[in-house]
Structure 1
Amino acid sequence: MLQHLLVRNLRSLLREGNITLHLPDKSVARIGDGLGPLVVVRLTTSAVVRRLVWNPELALGEGYMNGEITIDGDDLHGLLRVVVSNFDVQASSLWMRAIRVIRMLRRRFDQNNFASASRRNVAHHYDLSSTLYDLFLDQDRQYSCAYFKSPEDSLEQGQSQKKAHIAAKLLLEPGMRVLDIGCGWGGTALSLARDYGVNVLGVTLSKEQHRIATARAKAEGLSDRVKFKLCDYRDVTGPFDRIVSVGMFEHVGLPHYAAYFQTVRNLLTPDGVALVHTIGRSAPPDATNPWIARYIFPGGYIPAMSEVLPAIENADLFLDDVECWRLHYATTLRHWFDRFEANSEKAAEIYDDRFVRMWRFYLVASEQTFRFGRQVVFQFQISRRQDAVPLTRDYLYPPTPSTQLSRAAE
């Protein structure tokens, strides 16, 4: 009965793609329109069938982690490509709409990230073994979307270009005081101090990130210009000429958007500029995927732009510029996945095989969502004064010697 119900539900949700599904009773079902590469999926227990019926988004990730869902050739990219490519169909499904209504009713409760909850949520992900992140990140430990100017760019090039692009939007001058909200392992703060001569305070709730960032500043001889503090952004005192936040806003929580931007305003000097770099949705608001919320980013949420702009407006801040990066994060995640796969045995030694499958699912699901779904990256440039930044984007793209020669020849 449940197997029949599951197959019927999957056929209504996954109308495009080519999946052959092997069920625990040895029966076989074809899912999709039969077009595209064949993905062969095997469900090994009746328990996973039941969970897929009642909570498919949570059960898919859990089933793969636990080995109850296997894929021939371990083609996780192929399976999740089909799943994500059918998101629009799923959104119109009565079954999935009922599930999402419940999640939407709960989401403000789930994202009520007061300081104590924020610390627990951050520790869940960012206080994992530091060796784990060495297995797939670049040497600067940039754990956010890189900026690829060319398909041939390496991960290191993309991350360096990301930092340079952000620095340009901050309009830095030597001696400025900069706040880095959610500073990670310190890479951005150290780069800004080293390359632009500014003084940076980086704040994080992760004990492991704070330890490593502080050690890095000391090793590079930058401790006099870069300080790292283990504290909540709401406890910082200013003022600051510039504020930057990269990949942290996703952890703020919807109920705290107003407080976040009011804090940014209060910490900025009158002519200050802030740059908020965050994953976003190019679609209406939704709820966090339950598997991601349970295993990867508890308390996390990907905002729609319509949820962010009112908080900026109500904080009496000027929105100077908005930029949307498309597919850059998909490429970043593919780099991370390839590096993680090359080091999966080392990851299993740090944790275990189940953790490796969990992390693999996280990286692949994220990539496919950026590649075929509605996730992008937003950069919000904001200030307290209307004339705090140039009136055109020309300052971001100064002419190179080659373009100057070309114009002279004309």
Structure 2
Amino acid sequence: MDAYRFSISWSRIFPSILLFFLLDGTGEPNEEGLNYYNSLINTLLDKGIQPYVTLFHWDLPQALEDRYGGWLNSQIVYETKLCRDDFVHYASTCFKEFGDRVKHWITFNEPHNFAIEGYDLGIQAPGRCSILSHIFCREGKSSTEPYVVAHNILLAHAGAFHTYKQHFKLLLIILIVKLSKCEYRFLDPLMFGHYPPSMQKLVGDRLPQFSARASMLVSGSLDFVGINHYTTLYVRNDRMRIRKLVMNDASTDAAVIPTAYRHGKKIGETAASGWLHIVPWGMFKLMKHIKEKYGNPPVIITENGMDDANNRFSKLEDDLQDDKRIQYHKDYMSNLLDAIRKEGCNVHGYFVWSLLDNWEWNSGYTVRFGLYYIDYNNNLTRIPKASVEWFRQVLAQKTAGLEYSGSTVASS
């Protein structure tokens, strides 16, 4: 393993208690937080591992949410006479503190999921939605707020990108998208400076518009495309639009219905999570599509993996013999290599999700994605699963039926 991806917590660098008492929304960085990440970065480098750092993985300081509504307010993006553009200020602080050692930076993790789950469905922070007449959330507007949030994320990303390029010329900037859903709302602006025409038609005046200057700033504002890819689904045309009438939200604007079945046949075996269907050929088709639509940009697979159920009654030896995970990675990596060799796709790296069993956003500790088993009842002891040895052979000995080309293969 030659690279490790982790996220910095904005709240750990600028705790809310500091932000609350300073009206400009900046404050002084928390030394304990800086020391924590400095120690992690230095340890990785000492072991010959390059850090790939994500700046925002859905944890906004509470003070910014309380003061002006967080990502719903353009104050988080634009500098005014009374305040800084808070995201750029936070990101610049990280670059100044860690940029002498960290050369690969990721601005936002899965902005689509953050916007939809936080502001359309209300199942993630800040828990805003209006579906079914506010039966699930007290506040929010599911038909508009996800678009406002996504728009502000794109502007914040672009602002940070150009600020970094001005002051830190050697840095590589990435925006991670999770391409199993309609993430082209992010890639199209980043590549072309505008939203997809089909999206503009379907969403209409609910979709924020880029000014001419903003379009220029957003277009081309990345060095790599980071892709989190786990699964593939079929879609069919939502001709009746009944879901749209019932939900009246952003997620149904696409006018398609995702499904795992076609002609009565399931698209692939399911992992522990019901949404994760194992479809290795989806990786090949996705890479080919990105090459053809976006001019073959540099790509890093920033997450790829599958989960097993965390069954309290299962035997440890059974949990450690994760043959299904080995087959998953073997098949997905084989398809990725085919895309590189047969189609010339410009893929530079591959990160496994995840190195360790961990807490998952929508599943908690009920599933295990890790190459290492974590014993939650025994001081978080780490025990390697069979997949660890398989990856070791792939990387070091070029065996296990899968060649290794020398690009970055790593863990998150």
TM bucket (normalised to shorter chain) is under 0.3
Normalised by the length of structure 1, the TM-score is 0.25
Identify the structure with bigger relative contact order (alpha carbons < 8 Å, sequence gap 6+). 1
Bigger CA radius of gyration: 1
Give the number of the structure whose residues are more often helix, by fraction: 1
